[in-house]
Amino acid sequence: MASKTWQEIARAAREHRDQSLAEVKPPLPEIRSEDLPLNVTAIPWKHLSSFEIELTETSPEKLVQSLASGKLTSTEVTNAFLRRAGIAQKLTNCITELLPSRALARAAYLDSYLSIHKTPVGPLHGLPISVKEHAGMQGLGQNAGFVSWWDRTAPEDAHSLQLLWNAGCVFYARTTQPQTLMHLETSNNFYGETVNPYNRSLTSGGSSGGEGALLGMRGSCLGIGSDIGGSIRSPAANNGVYGLRPTSGRLPLSGFAATMMGQEHVLPVMGPLSTTLEGCKLFMRTIIDQKPWLKEPSLVPVPWRTNDQARFGAKNGKKTLKVGVLWNDGVVKPHPPITRALKEVVEKLNTVPDIEIVDWKPYKHDLAWEIIASLYFADGAKEVKEAIAASGEPWRPLSHFIITENKYCKELTVPEVWNLTLQREKYRVEYAQLWNETAVDGDPDTVVDVILCPVGPGAAPPLDHARYWGYTAQWNLLDYPALVFPVSTVDQDKDVVERDYDPMNDQDRWNYELYALDKYVDAPVSLQLVGRRFDDEKVIEALEFIKETAQI
């Protein structure tokens, strides 16, 4: 490592990626980046066959049905996704490497198994799944966005990948992540910036931004991300797909690479991004049904809880889905497209007899950020700084933002960590009480079921400008499950700038001044549903009910 400069290592990484793309057959088309429009989502249609387009735009839940029945082969589906992922890379810079040889060998095995045994390997038989790079794959690199970690390899597949493999999936693509893994964007010194397929001047989000862009391009239908402050939800929202931040302890995390591994005061989670809500549900159920806590005892032994009867619907004349609406967190006001989307969704929900809408009052969200931002880097970011310095690579702008410009980032003593952990627990108790107080006449069955709120203070921001984490990190501190879903896109006629707005603080002023409508052409607009701890299934079922009854 010492004999090579960071530039030489980065060049080797890009050459490795390009070589993996060159192995895709038939060869991928040449695409000149200087000739690209801002919105590149339609370009794959020019270069793929109608059959490849049909396969890659089919939902994961329908693909697994066709694969299990033999209507489709895993080989043809894998080939289609390899080609579309390769094109997505050329358009958005979202891939660290494709895995054509591995993936097609696995697909051939699965096709043979189905032909011989007349039964699928498991519930994901033949389904291609993309993987954020810091999830370990045996024998492959695992750099977590640091140039100095380029030569690190995973000794085995991450636990979650083992379970997905047992269920019959095909791993075919690895996706980009940012330096430090602590950006709501995706940029590093290996590959540069991963951009948004709907508007290449905007970010794809982060830190699972490669997954977000790949799914937005339909180069994947189901992918693996991780989240410690919004890293699944930001990319899902920015690229118009679904993403779930589960409660910690539901899904296995062993085998992922990052600095500060072992810290327990802000627990990261892994989870799905998908082109459909059912894809997220399929992912969760498939892993949890295999009882991952038997191998990873830190996990909570809670089975995936399904209901024979619908959880929501009319019962005894009562409304049975109660939605609290958080319009504003009291720190940074959302941009006009986000507020409009909230209003439009609420208007639709108000037409459904079995849904009750109430306003949710934010509770000290500024304090929540102070606590979590202090706990993120309890070592003063020493490990992160050392990992960057080891190769001599430059700091990315958002690495500076979250570390050197973060007034809460400082080395803590053990008693200081204990004190902040107590503050975290006190805040969780107070927020739980706020939730309990939504009950009518003390009836626990009448509390708010889910909170509907923004995913961020705006649509996907311009590159290097995702500087407000409050709408996502809030739920990491509370350890609440949060599910992102697409709603609309920025509307040039409706989403006009609010004139003469008086910002609440410096962060709010920065966000307000960032909004200029012409920046956000074609940007997806998404929202999130949030539930109480371990209400992961309830959050999914609430969105299913909302989509069915309110047609969202």
Q: How confident is the model at residue 309 (pLDDT cuts 50, 70, 90)?
A: low
Q: Which of 207, 226, 274, 526 is catalytic?
A: 207
Residue 207 among known ligand-binding residues: yes
Does some domain include residue 499? yes
Which of 206-210, 256-260, 318-322, 534-538 has the lowest average pLDDT?
A: 318-322
Strand partners, 457: none
Residue 196 backbone dihedrals phi, psi, to 5 degrees: -85, 125
What is the model's pLDDT at position 475? 98
Q: What's the rounded Cα separation, in Å, for the pair 339 and 529? A: 15
Does some domain include residue 316? no
Residues 248 and 379 in one domain: no
Q: Give the pLDDT confidence of 148-205 residue by residue, as tens digits.
A: 999 999 999 999 999 999 999 999 999 999 999 999 999 999 999 999 999 999 999 9
**Secondary structure (3-state) at 425:** helix
Query: Average per-residue pLDDT in the chain?
Result: 96
Element of type H or E holding 322: strand 321-325
Instruction: Look up the domain containing 446 and give its range.
Output: 321-550
Residues 111 and 231 in one domain: yes
Does some domain include residue 175? yes
Q: What's the rounded Cα separation, in Å, for the pair 436 and 438? A: 5
Contact 256, 270 (CB under 8 A): yes
Q: Give the pLDDT confidence of 29-61 residue by residue, as tens digits.
A: 999 888 899 999 999 999 999 999 999 999 999
Which of 109-113, 312-316, 430-434, 495-499 has the lowest average pLDDT?
A: 312-316
Query: Which DSSP string do the residues of 209-271 spell out, in sequence order?
Result: HHHHHHHHTTS-SEEEEEESSSTTHHHHHHTT-EEEEPPTTSS--TTB--TTTT--SS--EEE
What is the model's pLDDT at position 314? 65
Residues 330 and 216 in one domain: no
Handedness of CA 84, 488, 278, 242 (dihedral sign): positive
Is the per-residue pLDDT at 348 higher than 80? yes
Residues 288 and 327 in one domain: no
Residues 269 and 353 in one domain: no
Which of 416-425, 439-448, 525-534, 536-545 has the lowest average pLDDT?
A: 439-448
Q: What does the H/E/C string look like for 66-85?
A: HHHHCCCCHHHHHHHHHHHH
What is the model's pLDDT at position 393? 98
User: Can you give the CATH number for the domain in which 263 is found?
Assistant: 3.90.1300.10
Strand partners, 224: 131, 272
Does some domain include residue 310? no
Does some domain include residue 181? yes
Does some domain include residue 130? yes
Residue 271 among known ligand-binding residues: no
Handedness of CA 340, 343, 348, 354 (dihedral sign): positive
Residue 86 among known ligand-binding residues: no
Instruction: Tally the domains of the chain.
Output: 2
Q: Which of 90, 132, 322, 519 is catalytic?
A: 132
Contacts of 437 (CB under 8 A, 6+ apart): none
Residue 540 among known ligand-binding residues: no
Contacts of 393 (CB under 8 A, 6+ apart): 6, 10, 146, 147, 148, 179, 189
Residue 181 among known ligand-binding residues: yes
Q: Which of 204, 208, 231, 391 is catalytic?
A: 231
> What does pTM read for this prediction?
0.97
Residues 199 and 326 in one domain: no
Is the per-residue pLDDT at 219 higher than 60? yes
What is the model's pLDDT at position 32? 86
Residue 139 among known ligand-binding residues: no
Residues 221 and 334 in one domain: no
Residues 177 and 95 in one domain: yes
Residues 401 and 253 in one domain: no
Q: Where would I find the H helices in 449-535?
A: 470-478, 506-514
Contact 149, 9 (CB under 8 A): no
Residues 281 and 345 in one domain: no
Q: How confident is the model at residue 310 (pLDDT cuts 50, 70, 90)?
A: low
Residues 99 and 15 in one domain: yes
Q: Which of 11, 186, 16, 175 is nearest to 85 (CA)?
A: 175
Query: What letter does residue 394 receive in the DSSP assignment?
Result: P
Does some domain include residue 28? yes
- 207 is annotated as an active-site residue: yes
Is the per-residue pLDDT at 1 higher than 90? no
- 231 is annotated as an active-site residue: yes
Query: Which DSSP string do the residues of 87-115 spell out, in sequence order?
Result: HHHHHH--EEEE-HHHHHHHHHHHHHHHH
What is the model's pLDDT at position 265? 93
Is the per-residue pLDDT at 316 higher than 60? no
Contacts of 512 (CB under 8 A, 6+ apart): 333, 498, 501, 503
Residues 173 and 288 in one domain: yes
- 488 is annotated as an active-site residue: no
Does some domain include residue 302? no
